[in-house]
Structure 1
């Protein structure tokens, strides 16, 4: 599987660090202790600044140049690599150090544990994952740790995005879920007041506290709700349906494509055979059914590269499907298997 981690020729290092375990093709620096934000920036090779300058247009005579007042580009000051082009005048650069300042501020600088960080492409996009000090416990020993993930770009391709992401430690499944009227994501535009908004984005901590408290109760209830193998397959089929037409076919017993059946069978096989699905909290339980979907996407499905996988799990199609599974499990817990019955 390909990777897109920036390789810095000046230092001879990939711009990535992780605590204790290597990730993404064994690249980057592995440290044994959780670093401070200043250390994390250096370990991940993110200690560069980004500048924005106006584009210069050369006319047909090959001599005359016009400095644009509405078209700009960004570049790294350490190696002069251009990161973004044709940016608007109101695009505001948010430096890498400011992204880490966001993490330090939301918990007052105490208890945040920087676990991974890195730069993608030429450094036009960065990401940070930080672990919060508390955790969710399902049953007697099934632990779900709580993370905040942040990504931002320097090329104008997207907003600053911070998300709360619970991760089941036994299998590293990201159990993303948005409850009714409560998203797990904060998005901030790269506008002139982006830095101010970044300072205010500590509300992600409020989201983390609210979601983790509610998910603790939900997952523990689901771990006590029994579900048959037949209903697990039905739940998987409905959660993974790629369109309304396929979902209708699943619900009415219509014909399904070979490709879709293979995907569902792979997820069902994971539910039935993975060691992480044979624990007290997951074997034959609704919590296990939800983990079957999340586990399929993280441990079975193939992605173009690690960046695509990360994007899909946190914000893309995978997130949508795991949310569908979460909603189905919520309905099952309330109404039983009648929500899965074929019409």
Structure 2
């Protein structure tokens, strides 16, 4: 298992990243906590430092900061300000209790990244859409947090294309189907669910946009321009006057996926369409993009540069199809 993915569990089919301990469906949250490695707490203690280099030199505290560490093994997680509000592993799973019991949701994956610095759980909502040719897309709700300053506690609607296990955040136009709680604020599950209840209609808009993208045929020239735009970039360290560079390897990969090598590329919904453009990028990010390990790829695809690239592809496809 990847060093980045500390532990995780899943129910149903093996996840696209191929990691985790398999559980039977409809297990209690307590079983999920054990299998996903989330049955511990984030503890806090003062930052201490020694004045001098000798063992007998006095030890003092730094009151503006605190150390977060794991209760089960004592390993440090991060140093944060005293105002930092911790979200416990148990709170991530507990968020889904009523959604699973009365809302028809079903937990499918949960786990720990970066030795406990990042935590998540993913549940299927029961929503789905069927595009031309039997191309099924299912709706999910992802809840994730971090205790190292890299991620606000985020409840995010996402989708999975069944034929290839590609993941894509659900967005309606420029609006994101997510609720983010910064760690300077207390995490209130009820308030988050109320806000998500307003945003849940985004699935209907997302579904309508998927159908529109599947109906929008693209020419070879349009597809090449689409991918060239996504894979041309400039780096701040190159300087303002430096020419833009192209990721030739990534460009070649997505062109190949779109031209028929991608899983589901031959389906009527994706073959030569704007929906096919989007899924070529999501498959590249989720399955092919270079990464030190599957765990690193998962982290990027959900929370990092990969998620950003997929969102850019979605937005660019909407522009191409002239969807408001």
- For normalisation by structure 2, the TM-score amounts to 0.85
User: Does 2:200 match 1:209?
Assistant: yes
Aligned length: 314
Question: Counterpart of 2:31 in 1: which secondary structure?
Answer: helix
CA-CA distance at 1:52 after TM superposition:
0.9
Distance in 2, matches of 1:156 and 1:322, equals 23
Q: 1:1-343, aligned counterparts within 5 Å?
A: 2-6=2-6, 15-22=7-14, 28-60=20-52, 62-85=56-79, 87-105=80-98, 109-139=102-132, 141-191=134-184, 193-196=185-188, 198-203=189-194, 205-206=196-197, 209-243=200-234, 260-274=247-261, 275-334=263-322
Other-structure match for 2:239: none
- Return closer, same or farther for 1:119/1:320 CA change in 2, 3 Å cut-off: closer
CA-CA distance at 1:139 after TM superposition:
2.5
CA-CA distance at 1:107 after TM superposition:
6.9
- Return closer, same or farther for 1:21/1:97 CA change in 2, 3 Å cut-off: same
Distance in 2, matches of 1:231 and 1:25, equals 31
Distance in 2, matches of 1:156 and 1:260, equals 29
Residue ranges of structure 2 left out of the alignment (5+ in a row): 237-242
CA-CA distance at 1:217 after TM superposition:
1.1
CA-CA distance at 1:208 after TM superposition:
5.4
Higher strand share: 2
Deviations 1:89-143 (A, max 9, x none): 1112221111222233567753221111111233232121111112122225211
Distance in 2, matches of 1:40 and 1:205, equals 24
Distance in 1, matches of 2:112 and 2:16, equals 12
Residue ranges of structure 1 left out of the alignment (5+ in a row): 7-14, 246-254, 336-343
Distance in 2, matches of 1:88 and 1:78, equals 23
User: Contact 1:41–1:47 (CA<8 Å) still a contact in 2?
Assistant: yes
User: Contact 2:67–2:77 (CA<8 Å) still a contact in 1?
Assistant: yes
- For normalisation by structure 1, the TM-score amounts to 0.81
